[in-house]
Structure 1
Amino acid sequence: MSASLLELRNLSGGYPPVSVFRGVDLTVREGEAVGLFGPNGHGKTTLLKTVAGLIDPWDGDIVFAGDRLNAEGRMRPRTSRHLNYDLFRKRRISAEAVVRQGLIYVMQGNLLFPEMTVEEVLDIAPQAARGRKGTKQMRDLVEELFPRMRERWRSKIRFLSGGERQMVSIAVGLLALPRLLILDEPTLGLSPKLRIELCDAIAKIRARNVPLVVVDQNVEFLTSLVDRLYLFDHGTITQEIDGNEMPSHEEVMTMMFGEAH
């Protein structure tokens, strides 16, 4: 069995005072793709933002490549709503340090610089690689995966379609030379044609043994892509499914919502 790359141990968090997820145990091994599936609004994105260093965890451990990414122990209550506790009681490693470690989180929503061109965005993206080797090879792979970007090379990001922006977002993540790439709802809101293009591209990324964590509502896409699938409901992981026992779409729906779904 390959070594663990990312380990979440009894991880809890949210937006004080509201708890969003709790007791999450999740492992991603070297060279592995892991899927996370569950209803919208149940805390998956908040969990990923916590792992990426954007939100403080309340309790538990985040370990990446053997290094702890959060403070030990449980978060103490915040006694005043008028004081920014982050100034002196931050429990997370900075997002910049997370990127430096090679943990790259591609957020949902295509959060790019709207006034920059595709070419300009892709030119600055490798700066996040922080000296990791392979930029030229990854640039070649990105252009192979997303030939549509070459057609839009001089276009500003704000003039791209949602699917094209998503392609650029994933390309930016790849050019950071990730040791682990996290994709949050990469096919959300796309047309059927662009969804198929993007799913094919992510499958090719997987074929290159880039470790992945993928959250998506497309069950067939997830089950065809990942080595293990975690079902996530009301802020907790309810089931872990091995790739050798991957269920059908109908079986996943029954696991999540019961026979009457």
Structure 2
Amino acid sequence: MTAALLELRGLTGGYPPVSVFRDVNLTIKPGEHVGFFGPNGHGKTTLLKTIAGVLDPWDGGIYFEGNRLNAEGAMQARVSHNLNYDLFRKRRIKARDVVDAGLIYVMQGNLLFPEMTVEEVLDIAPRAARGRPGVGQMRRQIHDLFPRLRERWQSKVRYLSGGERQMVSIAVGLLAMPRLLMLDEPTLGLSPKLRIELSQAVQNIRETGVPLIIVDQNVEFLTSLVDRLILFDHGTVTREIPAENMPDHAQLMEMMFGGAH
């Protein structure tokens, strides 16, 4: 029996004291591409940040290739709202351990170094690969995946469009040589033309064999890429839909919001 690539067991988390998602159970197989879809503000990004080690999980387990990434047991509740416990409380999951394992998260919002050029940003990105092989080949693939970046190679990040910055962000994630790549709202706020370019690039990334978790509100983009769609509502998984039963936009709106939509 093939071991899971990523497994979440009863995962619960949020921003103390507010719980955002609860008791999430999910298994992703090697080579599988999974999408998350649901209303804004219902916990999808918080879930990804927790898996990536940006936020501490409150309870449950995160397992990657069979290895547990977070501490066991439930996080103790804060006993005072006037004290910043994060200053001295030991982290329950370390982002560095997550990156070392090859689980790479590309956040929404294009958080890059504005005064660096595209070339400079992509030159430092492979440091996150932690010695995983294939960086040289991936550098060459980046040029094919994102031809627009070749035109902006010497441009500072601050002068790029939103779509171009998103391409740089994904390229940075790829140069970390991920064993699983998580993309959070990659098409958010893009023009139709850049959305098409980025969609094609992500499709090409998929074909290289890099497993993907994608959160996005663009239904057509999402359903064209994934083997399984996870519907996420009010901090819980409400339904899992395999590729052979993938709904169209109208059917998905019906599932999520009922007949009024």
Please say whether Structure 1 and Structure 2 have the same fold, judged by a TM-score greater than 0.5: yes
Shift of 1:247: 1.3
Shift of 1:209: 1.0
- Which residue number corresponds to residue 115 of structure 2? 115
In the TM superposition, 1:73-222 aligns within 5 A as: 73-222=73-222
Question: Residue 9 of structure 1 contacts residue 61 of structure 1 at CA under 8 Å; is this kept in 2?
Answer: yes
Where structure 1 has 5 or more consecutive residues not aligned to the other structure, the ranges are none
Shift of 1:90: 3.2
Q: Deviations over 1:144-169 (max 9, x none)?
A: 00011011011000000000000000
C-alpha separation in 2, matches of 1:107 and 1:92: 20
Secondary structure class of the residue paired with 1:238: strand
Moved more, 3-12 or 115-124: 3-12
Q: Deviations over 1:162-202 (max 9, x none)?
A: 00000000000000000000000000000000000000000
Question: Residue 13 of structure 1 contacts residue 57 of structure 1 at CA under 8 Å; is this kept in 2?
Answer: yes
- List structure 1 segments (4+ residues) > 6 angstroms apart after TM superposition: none
Shift of 1:83: 3.2
Q: Which amino acid aligns with 1:96?
A: R
Where structure 2 has 5 or more consecutive residues not aligned to the other structure, the ranges are none
- Which residue number corresponds to residue 39 of structure 1? 39
Question: Residue 162 of structure 1 contacts residue 190 of structure 1 at CA under 8 Å; is this kept in 2?
Answer: yes
Question: Residue 32 of structure 1 contacts residue 227 of structure 1 at CA under 8 Å; is this kept in 2?
Answer: yes
Question: Residue 3 of structure 2 contacts residue 66 of structure 2 at CA under 8 Å; is this kept in 1?
Answer: no
Q: Which amino acid aligns with 1:79?
A: V
C-alpha separation in 2, matches of 1:134 and 1:246: 34
C-alpha separation in 2, matches of 1:2 and 1:256: 32
Moved more, 17-26 or 82-91: 82-91
C-alpha separation in 1, matches of 2:32 and 2:140: 23
C-alpha separation in 1, matches of 2:51 and 2:90: 14
TM-score by length of 2: 0.97
Shift of 1:254: 0.5
C-alpha separation in 1, matches of 2:90 and 2:201: 37
Secondary structure class of the residue paired with 1:225: coil
Shift of 1:89: 3.7
TM-score by length of 1: 0.97
Question: Residue 102 of structure 2 contacts residue 177 of structure 2 at CA under 8 Å; is this kept in 1?
Answer: yes
